[in-house]
A and B are shown apart, each in its own frame.
Chain A
Amino acid sequence: MILTSFRLPGEFGGLAPLYILPDKANTDSGLTIETYQFFFSDFIYVEVFLKSFAVAIFTTIICITLAYPLALLIARSPRKFRNLMIMLVVLPFASNFLIRIYAWMIILGPESALSHIINSTLAFFDIAPVTLLFSPFAVLIAMIYVHLPFMILPLYTNLEKHDPILLDAAQDLGANAWQRFWYVTWPQSLPGIFSGSALVFVPVLGMFAIPDILGGTGDIMIGNLIKDQFLGTRDWPFGATLSIMLTLAVLSITGLFSWFARPAGKFA
């Protein structure tokens, strides 16, 4: 108990009282809400926040669409194969995070096979060639790639618990494949989707490495802003303000997700 309480000053206690402490650049004493006013005074910062939310929402939705068929297949496979199939999902994400981003640098690079294929197809239709790297597209694809397992695992854990008898019953009652999915499997899987979404949404929101490496100069997210305040311009109070904003956003999102997951959980 002492240990956990000891750890906290390092994480949150350290932050809360300190962001109002002026550092060398900001020498008036005591408390100030200047940085907060500054945040809202310039639309650019709000815009970055909104953009980060958009990226996080897109990533989450695409992750759900990609993860669902795979999780469903694993959950319906013979029991002896399931562990192996899950292992195969987890394995690539055990490799270093930077390496996984770097891999996309190669694939999306201007000299890569993929770029050649896409650009020659575009040239065929008389469209100007595109650069894949250093674009919002590259950021999004890497976000999906890095976070996909976080969606597959909770979804699988949920789908695996479903009772197949329910599907048989639905079939007996005359439901076709699509109806069986929509009225039986999908509602039951909502808690899995919500917990997976929380696991994808939150880290994407705070990510700075992916936009930093794969994004162009315009593709900055909250994480990049925070990083720049702390390590670049060294405006710590403002960086801390941004961090607090992000914390609030994350807390409300997680609260929202768990609130959504709860009523659905009762039926599952």
Chain B
Amino acid sequence: MQRRMTTLWIVSILIYAFLYIPLIVVVVFSFNNSKLNAEWVGFTLHWYQTLFHNHEMLLAARNSLIIAISASTLATLLGTMAGLAIHRYKLKVLPILAFTPVAMPEILLGVSLLLFFLQVLNMTLGMFSIIIAHTTFCIGFVAIIVRARLQGMDDLIFEAARDLGATPWQTFYHVTLPLIRPAIIAGALMSFTLSIDDFVITFFTKGVGEPILPIQIYTMIKVAITPEVNAVSTLLMLLTLTLIIVATRFDTSVLRSESK
């Protein structure tokens, strides 16, 4: 038994290494004083400097932030409502409708949205279409999280509130909302990261015009690889890492105040 655990440990450590080495390589080479991503030459911050003077890149970062913030706000609102609706009206179709986009390959959603925007709505692709597209695929995730939270709760609480004379709105505001708040926050943070990271759907709905961060990275990788990509990557990793740390902090503090 003991020997088996050791083998398991060795294999697992190798798998962890497989998961982390690529990312470490990217970070290390972002400080490398060489145009080639081949061998270590010396430490430099040069790539970060060029990055911060790259106007296009800064614009792309700003656009991506705007998209992520608007899309996650919209998706959280609509997704919460969808989650509530799925929980309340026990129709079999509703969860299927909300969750299929999550389960399908992204490319299908991207293509359908492209067709929808151009053929049905006849609109020009741009920031607005990307925001709508991102909202669409984030709603499902928020709905899943909110619904999971509602499923774990006793419906009697809501009935009790109604018995005590609360209007439906008061029940929602004073009972339901505080109870599902952790789920809403988790959903919002998830939508934000999904949106800022999304490449496939953005790729199909971007149109021409405004630079968007993932697309910008894609072009840089496809056309010419400079260590600038490493620098952007490192900064982006830092951002998601901070978000995750904030999320877990927030989540546990919410849970704690609840258990009291």
Interface residues, chain A, CB within 8 Å of chain B? 1, 3-5, 7-12, 14-15, 18-19, 21, 66-67, 69-70, 72-74, 76, 88-89, 91-107, 109, 111-113, 145, 148-149, 177, 202-203, 205-209, 212-213, 223, 226-227, 230-231, 236, 239-240, 243, 246-247, 250, 254
B199 touches A14 (CB 8 A): no
A19 CA / B112 CA spacing, docked (Å): 10
- B107 and A223 contact, CB distance less than 8 A: yes
Q: Distance in Å from the Cβ of A261 to the closest Cβ of chain B?
A: 14
Interface residues of B (CB under 8 A from A): 1, 4-5, 8-9, 11-12, 15-16, 18-23, 25-26, 29, 36-39, 78, 81-82, 85-86, 89, 91, 94, 97-98, 100-101, 103-109, 111-116, 119-120, 132, 136, 139, 193, 197, 199-200, 203-204, 214, 217-218, 221-222, 225, 229, 233, 236-237, 240-241, 244
B82 in contact with A69 (CB, 8 Å): no
Is the CB–CB distance between A226 and B107 below 8 Å?
A: yes
* B111, A240: Cβ atoms closer than 8 Å: yes
Q: Are A73 and B12 in contact (CB under 8 A)?
A: yes
On whether the beta carbons of A14 and B9 are closer than 8 Å, the reply is no
- Inter-subunit contact B112/A92 (CB<8 Å): no
Instruction: Provide 17 A-B residue pairs closer than 8 Å at the C-beta atoms, listed in order of the A residue.
Output: A1-B89, A1-B91, A3-B78, A7-B139, A10-B116, A11-B112, A67-B15, A73-B12, A92-B20, A94-B193, A96-B233, A100-B22, A111-B38, A177-B1, A209-B218, A231-B203, A240-B115
List residues of chain A with CB within 8 A of the CB of B15.
66-67, 69-70, 148
Partner of A109 from B16, B37, B91, B109 at Cβ < 8 Å: B37
In the complex, the answer to whether A254 meets B103 with C-beta atoms within 8 Å is yes
Report the minimal beta-carbon distance from B31 to chain A, rounded to whole angstroms: 14
Give the residues in chain A near B233, CB-CB below 8 Å. Answer: 95-96, 99, 102-103
CB nearest to B38 among chain A residues: A111
Q: Report the bound CA distance from A15 to B5 in whole Å.
A: 51
**Contact at B136–A4, with CB atoms within 8 Å?**
no
Chain B residues with CB below 8 A from A66, complex form? 15, 18
User: Which residues of A sit under 8 angstroms from B22, Cβ to Cβ?
Assistant: 92, 100, 103-104, 106-107, 145
Known contacts A1-B85, A149-B19; 5 additional CB pairs below 8 A are A3-B139, A7-B98, A76-B8, A89-B19, A103-B233
Nearest CB of chain B from residue A86's CB, rounded to whole Å: 12
Chain B residues near A240 (CB, 8 Å)?
111, 115
